[in-house]
Structure 1
C-alpha cells in the first residue's frame, strides 16, 4: 500500500494546478496546441483588451522559449520599468493572466504602468522548440531545474534587459523562485535585476510536511520511472496519467482530494473555476531532482547517483551546492509565504531566511499569510489586496 501511495504522489507531486479536483484523471492533455497566430496573445490577452506581443528567446543550449509582453489597452508600456513573471512547475505564463483582469497579477502590473513580460520555460506547450532537437528525442528532456536556472532564466532576463535597456523586477512562483535563487546565488543576472518577489519560495524542501510527497521521494519511484525511459513528465496525458488513473481506480483512494493532501487547503480560490485545464509538461529528470531535495534537505545540483557519474559531470563526487549566502546583500528580496502551504512549508522558508544571513531590512521583506496555501498566491480572489499590493509597494521602494 505504501508503494501504491508513493507512486500516485510521484505522478501528482508538484501538480500545483489541482485546485478543485475536477478532471484530475483526464488522460487527454488539454493544453492548447502551439501556434503563434493563436497563442497566448490572441486567446488570453487580446480578449481582455490589453496590448500584447509574442517574442522568442533562444537559450545557450538551444531551446527556443516563448516570452509574452503585455501592456494596457493604449499600448505596451514602453519606457516604463520592466517586470518578468516566472511560473512554477507544470504550469506556464497563463498562471499570471488566467483570472479576471482585476485578479490576475500580469494585468494588475500592466494597469500600474509596468512593462510586463511573461515567461514560458522549456518543455511547456509554448516553448517546445529547439535548434536541433525534437520533443520526441530523449535528449530534449535531459534537464532539470539546474538548466532552467543556468539557461532559461538568464536568457529571458537578458532579453528583457536588452529590449528595454532597463534593470527589471522579477516575480516567481514556486519553481520560479527556485530558479531565481539558484541563478542569483551563482551571480547570474544580478546586475540586471532591481528586485525579486518570491511567492511560495521552495529553496529548501527537507521539512515539507506532505506525507504523500515524502513517501514518493523516499522510495525513489521517480528515479525508477526515469531510468525506464519516461523522459517527458506530462500529467495531462500519456503513461503518467494512465498510471495515475489505474492506481486511483483500483486502490479506492479519493484522488480528487489530493490537492489538499499535497499542496495544503487553499482558502480563497474561485470555486467556479478549474485550474486543471492547462497542465504543462516538464522533464521527469526535473521531478527526480526535486525528490532528491526532499530526501536530502539541501539545495544542490542534480545527483547522478554515484561518485563516478558525479565526477564525470561536476569533477567532484557529490553535486555542487547552491550557496544562498552568495546572493548579494544589496539584492532586494520579498518572500511571500502561507501558513497552510504543504509545499513551501514555513519551516523550510525560515531555513531560507536564516541562510540569506544578515541583510539590510529594506532589502528583505517578509509577507506571511496564515490562511494561504500554495495556489492562493497566484489565484486567490483576494490576492490583489493580500499579496499583490505588497509587491507593488516593494517595487516602488526599489
Structure 2
C-alpha cells in the first residue's frame, strides 16, 4: 500500500481527466489493432473512423468520474469514444442525505485545512494492521451481539441488507496488500460537492489556483455542461439507497432531460452496495437490455444505407 503524499494527491478530477482517458485510449489502440484488417471496409461503409462500439457501466463514484470524463473531453473537443452510459446510483449530487453524512461533511470542511498537511489518505498503513483488521472483522461477525450491532449501523448508513458485510472482506481487492483506501482530496471533493449542492470539479481553495486549473476563479460546474453529452445515458437508482438517494439520481436525470440528452431513469429495490455485492437477475437483465440497444445500432451505422434503400435508389436512377 503506497504511503507517499505525492501518490495520494488526487481528487475525482484525476479519475475523470487522467485515469479514465488512459484506460479508454488503451482500449482504443487495442481494438483498432485487432480490427486493422477490417477497418477500411467499415470506414468506407459508415464514414466512421471508430470500427467498434464501447459502453461504460459505472457505479457510484465511477458514475461521477465517467461523466466528468465525457464532459471535459467534449469541452476540449476531443473524442470520448463511448457509445452509451449505464450509471448505477451515480455520484455527483449529495445534498439530500442522512444526518450522519451531513455531520461528516461539516466536520470535514471545518477540519480539512488542519488535516491536509498531515493526512494524505485514509487507509490501514501496514500489512500487520490490515491482517489484524481483517481477522477482527471476521471474529466480530461471529459474535451475535457485535455482529448484529455492526449490521444495524451499516444498514442505517447505506441501507438494504447488510448481513453479508463480512463477505465483502473476502473479495479479491480486500487483501493484506491492497485493501481499499480513500484519498484525502477525494473525500474533500465529495464534501465540497455536497456543500455547494452542485456537481463541481475540485476547488483548489483559491481563485488563483482555480484560475490556473480551469481558467476561471471558480471550479467548473459540470451540471451546466450536460448539453454536451452526445450519447444515450441510462440512470439507475436504488429505492433503499441511503448513500446516494433516488432524489439525487433524479437530479442528474432532470438536468440531462432539460439539456436535451437522450436519457432514461429506472429504480430498483436496492441499497447502495447491492448494485455490486449482490447478485440480482433483474439488474443483469436490465443492463443487458440497454446494451442490446447499442448492438442493434451497429447493424446500421450513421450514414450507412440499408441494401433495400440502395436498391430503391438504383431503381429510381434507372427510371430517370
Report the TM-score, using the length of structure 2 for normalisation: 0.68
- Equivalent residue in structure 2 for 1:351, among 246, 251, 276: 251
* Residue 229 (structure 1) aligns with: 118
Matches within 5 A, 1:1-398: 135-165=2-32, 166-187=52-73, 191-207=80-96, 209-219=97-107, 220=109, 223-224=112-113, 226-234=115-123, 257-266=152-161, 271=164, 274-277=167-170, 278=174, 279-323=179-223, 325-326=225-226, 328=228, 330-358=230-258, 363-369=262-268, 371-381=269-279, 383=280, 385-398=281-294
Cα distance in 2 between the residues matched to 1:312 and 1:257:
46
Provide Cα deviations, 1:74-130, integer angstroms capped at 9, x if missing partner.
Answer: xxxxxxxxxxxxxxxxxxxxxxxxxxxxxxxxxxxxxxxxxxxxxxxxxxx6xxxxx
Q: Which runs of 5+ in 2 are unaligned?
A: 33-51, 137-145, 295-320
- In the alignment of these two chains, the number of paired residues is 248
Indicate conservation of the 8 Å contact 2:90/2:249, yes or no. yes
Q: Are the aligned partners of 1:336 and 1:387 in contact in 2 as well (CA < 8 Å)?
A: no
> 1: distance between equivalents of 2:153 and 2:274?
16
Output one character per residue of 1:6-31: Cα deviation in whole Å (capped at 9) or x when no partner: xxxxxxxxxxxxxxxxxxxxxxxxxx
Task: Determine which structure has the larger strand proportion and give its number.
Answer: 1
Q: Which structure shows the bigger proportion of residues in helix conformation?
A: 2
Distance 1:218 1:340 in 2: 24
Larger radius of gyration: 2
Distance 2:69 2:110 in 1: 28
| Equivalent pair of 2:226/2:259 in contact (CA under 8 Å) | no
Taking a change above 3 Å as real, the CA distance of residues 167 and 322 of structure 1, as seen in their structure-2 partners, is same
| Equivalent-residue separation in structure 2 for 1:284 and 1:360 (angstroms) | 35
* Structure 1 residue 308 displacement after superposition: 4.0
Cα deviation, residue 351, structure 1 = 1.1
TM superposition score normalised by structure 1: 0.56
